[in-house]
Amino acid sequence: MSDDSPLGDGTQLTTAVFGVPVGGLIQVWTDKPTVWHLSDPGAFADIAGSGLISRTQIRPGRYREECLFDEESGTVVLEDRHSAEHPESESQIGGRIFTAAPPSEVFGDPWEDLNVAIFRAAAQAFARHELIVIEPGGWDDSDGRFCLIVAVHDDGADQIILETSPAPSGSELWPPTDQTDHQTISAPASEDSLRGAGALAVEAISRWGVAPWDVTITYVVPSEAFGE
């Protein structure tokens, strides 16, 4: 970050993970979860899920984006995932600094924001040969509730597969099923089917008894998580 950073000398930054930015809000997990209103939610949403932000590994091959956070000032720092080379042959980590305040209201439709964020995160993850899992946020691995979205090449055709647990029984969007522990559907890969997967994921997540800012996206590198 540049020398003209607005961070004061006494700022104490703590490593944190964060949820999906929705409704102008972001949830941050340090040793406890807190919800904040971002001063520039659009710019934050543009970089979240891009693959450019520093990550933390929660299990082999499973990563969540992380930030540096100061609760007293409401400062959120998104560090670049990779260092940049400078003419002096030194490496430097860059980043973006955001300010946040305690939430007073929710803007727009946070569930639709979550839908858009899932679509964008999945599309960019697929380009990196990753898959995504949407699950309750925090430092711990999933508690069993999840929506997995993956692109695969099978029998000469590209497919998008969506699996969720528990099964969203009674949903008007998901096909009827007798299963209760999980449900899996697939469709030929296209932009429309990926957008549909986002809508189906949101439908399933809305039944978990959580707010849309309570969930996060885990990025899975298959070669690390499952082996070659």
DSSP string, 135-156: EE-SSSPP-S-EEEEEEEEETT
pLDDT of 7 reads 57
pLDDT tens-digit series, residues 178-192: 888 999 999 999 999
Rounded distance, CA 21 to CA 36, Å? 10
In contact, 217 and 118? CB cutoff 8 Å: yes
pLDDT at 210 over 80: yes
Q: Give the position of tokens 């809508």.
A: 199
Q: Report whether pLDDT(17) > 80.
A: yes
What percent of the chain shows pLDDT beyond 90?
A: 79
54: number of Cβ within 10 Å: 18
Q: By three-state DSSP, how is residue 89 classified?
A: coil
Residue 93: per-residue pLDDT: 52
Token pair recorded at residue 39: 């001063």
Mean pLDDT of the chain: 90
- The position carrying tokens 């939610």 is 41
In sequence order, what are the residues at sequence separation of 6 or more whose Cβ sits closer than 8 angstroms to the Cβ of residue 165? 144, 145, 146, 181, 182, 183
* Composition of the chain by helix, strand, coil, percent to 5: 20, 35, 40
Nearest to 94 by CA among 58, 68, 125: 68
Q: With cut-offs at 50, 70 and 90, classify the pLDDT of residue 162.
A: very high
What tokens were used for 110? 């946070």
